[in-house]
Structure 1
Amino acid sequence: MTRTHLTTIAAVFSLGIALPVQAENIDHVRQLLSTRQCANCELSSAGLVLAQLSGANLAGANLAGANLSQANLAGADLTNANLAGASLSGANLAGAKLTNANIQGADLTRSYLVGADLTGTQIETAAIHGAVGLPTSAGNAEMFYQMAMEAGKRRQYETAIANFNQALVRKPDSAPALIGRAMARLELGDQKGAIQDSEQAAALFDRQGDAANAKSAVALAQGLKNPPDQQRRGNNFGQSLINVVGGLLQMFLTR
């Protein structure tokens, strides 16, 4: 079967954060590195790349714009800390307390969050691509759905699938997420998975009273199972599927 290129899935998820320009308090930086006790410290814009801060007390600290990339913050107390715009890319935050922390615009990509407490944080405003161990209580289905759509636009289909999975963990009855995952799987050559997702989506659409999209999802599944003989070997099969799911794609772009 000729692979289809359903690359019209697209969404824009962007966030621009303006942060005040401040400098860290050098004495506070030294205190943190020597004692790991720096509650309510002024550490904005501090350079703390690879810093060994496991178990550190940073409750209430101002770390806005700080660079904590690949820092070890396992078990650290960051309760009420200001991490707006901070880089925590690749940081170890296992078991860290981030209760009510401000992580607006923070970079948590590829961070390790197993056991972290994110109660009261607005994870929706942070970059979390590739984060490991993100609690299911963090974020919502809509956020991960939009992230999946953005990844699909960039043709990063594995990433799209991972985010659709997260959306479905939080909202198992999300038929749009199933259809989106079906299309991403199809792009990766997983026809069986695409059929399964399409059929499940059709059942959910039907159960939710969305007859038009249920019909489109059924048509997609049937088209994948039994492509017309004259199109199996040609280049028209992908276009045929696009026509079948045109209504579904339009729905994605408006949700």
Structure 2
Amino acid sequence: MSFHTTTTAGFLIIMLSPATAIAENLNDLNQLFTTKACEECNLVNAGLVRADLAGAQLQRANLTNANLSRADLTGADLRGANLSGASLHGADLRGANLSGANLVATDLRNAYLTNAQLQATSLESAYIQGAIGVPTEASSAEQFYRLAVAEAQEGNYERAIEYCNYAIEANSEYAPAYLGRGVARFRLGNEIAATQDAQVAAELFELQNNPTGVQASQQFLKAMEIARQPRENNGGGGGLNRVLTSVGSLLMRFLF
């Protein structure tokens, strides 16, 4: 075969490959919608917003960067699927099997994950803010604490407490979560529980030889003591507001 023929053939293969990939992608999409069975399918960049995929068989499917926002994936089998960069914002994944799935940079905000199976799957680099039913074993105390801080900064203290609870469930000795929960509880007016959390945090920080944490916990306890004083002694409403502002910054101390 001549050099010209060889290079021409190679050029045609290169030029036709994208079209072939698109055709395969469309065929796979058609198969998915027709049968709900599409194992190892190529669904890269697929638009599946609000799609009814309940019980779909998508084992080892490539769903990289696919848009599955608000899709119904209840009971779907996504074992080993590649969902990196995919959007599952608000998707219903209750009872879905995500064991071994790639969830790097996957958007799971406000998704429903109750009873989802996540064995050998990590949510550490996924976006899970607002997700419901997140299994604590699939993430870390640090990630849950970051979410707690984000919620607290928006004034969503009840959600912040919920994420601190997740962090504590993931690691019962994660001191920042107790301190963060204490601050959030204080902002909601539950001073007794806030004091208990701050005391636990101080004890854990001391056991872990973390003087910065001990100091932060003691500062918070002192701030609550100041807030309990009569208004004329703590500077009136302005003094109390300064206390509330200062304790809010404590949440940020252990992010980095």
2:245 pairs with 1:237: no
Q: Secondary structure at the match of 2:32?
A: helix
In the other structure, the counterpart of 1:109 is 109
2:202 pairs with 1:199: no
After TM superposition, the structure 1 = structure 2 runs for residues 53-202 of structure 1, keeping only pairs within 5 Å, are 53-202=53-202
Deviation at 1:76, TM superposition (A): 1.2
In the other structure, the counterpart of 1:7 is none
Deviation at 1:192, TM superposition (A): 3.0
Check the 8 A contact 1:71/1:88 in 2, yes or no: yes
Aligned length: 232
Check the 8 A contact 1:56/1:76 in 2, yes or no: yes
Q: Which whole-Å CA distance do the structure 1 matches of 2:224 and 2:124 have between them? A: 35
Residue identity in the other structure for 1:231? N
TM normalised by structure 1 equals 0.79
In the other structure, the counterpart of 1:252 is 254
Per-residue Cα deviation, 1:84-114 (whole angstroms, up to 9, x for no partner):
1111112121221111111111111111112
Q: Of Structure 1 and Structure 2, which has the larger fraction of its residues in helix?
A: 2
In the other structure, the counterpart of 2:6 is none
Deviation at 1:61, TM superposition (A): 0.7
The structure with the larger Rg is: 2
Alignment root-mean-square deviation, CA: 2.7
Check the 8 A contact 1:216/1:244 in 2, yes or no: no
Where in structure 1 are there 5+ consecutive unaligned residues? 1-21
Per-residue Cα deviation, 1:60-89 (whole angstroms, up to 9, x for no partner):
111111111121112211111111111111
Q: Which whole-Å CA distance do the structure 1 matches of 2:49 and 2:247 have between them? A: 50
Deviation at 1:120, TM superposition (A): 2.0
Deviation at 1:202, TM superposition (A): 2.5
Deviation at 1:210, TM superposition (A): 4.4
Aligned pair in 2 of structure 1 residues 38, 213: CA closer, same or farther (>3 Å)? Answer: closer
Q: Secondary structure at the match of 1:129?
A: coil
Q: Which whole-Å CA distance do the structure 2 matches of 1:70 and 1:241 have between them? A: 38
Where in structure 2 are there 5+ consecutive unaligned residues? 1-20
Check the 8 A contact 2:187/2:244 in 1, yes or no: no
In the other structure, the counterpart of 2:3 is none
Check the 8 A contact 1:148/1:160 in 2, yes or no: yes
TM normalised by structure 2 equals 0.79
| Higher RCO by CA contacts (8 Å cutoff, separation 6 or greater) | 1
In the other structure, the counterpart of 2:12 is none
Q: Which whole-Å CA distance do the structure 2 matches of 1:245 and 1:108 have between them? A: 27
